[in-house]
Amino acid sequence: MSRTVDLCPTWEAAARIYLMVLENRHAPEASRDAARTEIMRLAKAFDATQADLEVEPEPEPEPDAARWQAERRWHADAARDELDLV
């Protein structure tokens, strides 16, 4: 039975590798260009993923009518008490 091992780096690991190449002043220019190209490819792939995942915002919840009416009654009672109209 053969076993498959996934050696593909995470996006974060890939970005770190590309940054190390860009920060290495001894890296060949071709390697730096490849790192720039790959960073942009990752960014475009991420943008495409985000566009696919865009979700419409959830609608505002309906106000709780019973709570609203109770608060309204409480305010009316408080106003009556304040005016001493009971």
Average pLDDT of span 39-54: 86
CA atoms of 36 and 29, how far apart (whole Å): 11
CA atoms of 86 and 20, how far apart (whole Å): 78
pLDDT digit string (tens) for 13-46? 999 999 999 999 999 999 999 999 999 999 999 8
Q: Where are the alpha helices (DSSP H) in 3-60?
A: 11-23, 29-53
pTM here? 0.53
pLDDT digit string (tens) for 59-72? 776 667 767 677 77
For residue 73, the one-letter residue type is R
Above 70 in pLDDT, residue 85? Answer: no
Kindly tell me the number of DSSP H helices and DSSP E strands found in the chain: 3, 0
**Segment holding 84, helix H or strand E:** none
